[in-house]
Structure 1
Amino acid sequence: MQTMYIIFKLNNQLFGVDVHQVTSIEKMQPLTEVPGTSDFIKGIMPLRGEIMPVLDLKERLTMRKTTATDDENRILIIHLEGVQIGLIVDEATEVITIDSSSIEPPFGMISGVHNQYIKGIAKVNKQLLIILDLGKVTNQSEKVQLQKVVNQ
């Protein structure tokens, strides 16, 4: 079976998410900070009439921070348990199709990313592609916190 993945970069490492998990890809915008939230929640922003929280995916995955460049940074818009969320990534590069037989199960810790967030690993153009499970990027208490941010 083949699945389409949106490919993006965090610290020059390739990541992918199922194209069906992403509603849109937006350019970086100014964010309004929300006090009293987790460090990886960078703020809120309006998008098509909705207010949504925006997370720094590198910080959430406990990856080394790099300097953000608004020219290249993108926000992946996803829906997570009924809440629209933005995920800041370094850049979104392309959409590719990957056969499920070429995806290996995650092993240990890869590039600083714990395998609890990883759905699998694939080799694409001689590079490793880490396929994320966006449903596991936040835990239950963080999901509640995101709901509160939206409902304030």
Structure 2
Amino acid sequence: MHRELITFELAGQIFALDIMAIREIRAWTPVTPLPRVPDYVAGVVNLRGTVLPVLDLSARLGWPATEATPRHAIIVCHVNGQAQGLIVDSVSDIVALASDSLQPPPTTGNDSVVPFLEGLAAIEDKMVMVLDLQALSAEGEGLLAA
């Protein structure tokens, strides 16, 4: 059985998300910051009349916060019955992946990314980190309720 993933770049690394969880990909839109939210919550944007929380995926993974420019994109995902946006550097491709080709992430000590990975996959000549949307959203669920 095959899964379709959408690949994207973040901080020079290639990541992927299951295409079934993605609602749309938007061009960069400046966000309105919110007070008293985790540092990885960039703010909110108006998505056709709906308030959409937007996460800075780089900050969520424990890396430096994104200095967003018009070249960045927002991937709108559906997680736990709620839409949320993820700021990424750029969106690359849609790829098919055999379900059994996903390898478990390595346990390399205190790497901040590993808890958010579903697994790793070799696609063409690149290593792609497949993100687990449930894990990304778990800590801030109550804060991101729209």
TM-score by length of 1: 0.88
- AA aligned to 1:25 is I
**Residue in structure 1 matched with residue 25 of structure 2 by the alignment:** 25
CA deviations 1:51-110 (Å, max 9, x no partner) are 111110010011244643322x11010122222111001111111101122211111249
User: What is the alpha-carbon distance in structure 1 between the residues aligned to residue 108 and residue 29 of structure 2?
Assistant: 32
Written as runs of structure 1 = structure 2, the 5 A alignment for 1:1-152 is 1-65=1-65, 67-71=67-71, 73-109=72-108, 112-140=111-139, 142-147=140-145, 150=146
CA deviations 1:9-57 (Å, max 9, x no partner) are 1111110010001100001101111111111111110112211111100
Percent identical across equivalent pairs?
A: 30
Residues 68 and 30 of structure 1, relative CA distance in 2, 3 Å threshold: closer
- AA aligned to 2:50 is E
Residues 4 and 106 of structure 1, relative CA distance in 2, 3 Å threshold: same
Structure 1: unaligned runs, 5 residues or longer: none
- AA aligned to 1:39 is D
Residues 67 and 146 of structure 1, relative CA distance in 2, 3 Å threshold: closer
TM-score by length of 2: 0.91
CA deviations 1:109-152 (Å, max 9, x no partner) are 49x54322111111112111000110110224x100111xx3xx
- Please, what is the CA RMSD of the aligned residues? 1.7
User: What is the alpha-carbon distance in structure 2 between the residues aligned to residue 109 and residue 86 of structure 1?
Assistant: 29
Number of aligned residue pairs: give it.
145
Structure 2: unaligned runs, 5 residues or longer: none
User: What is the alpha-carbon distance in structure 2 between the residues aligned to residue 97 and residue 113 of structure 1?
Assistant: 27
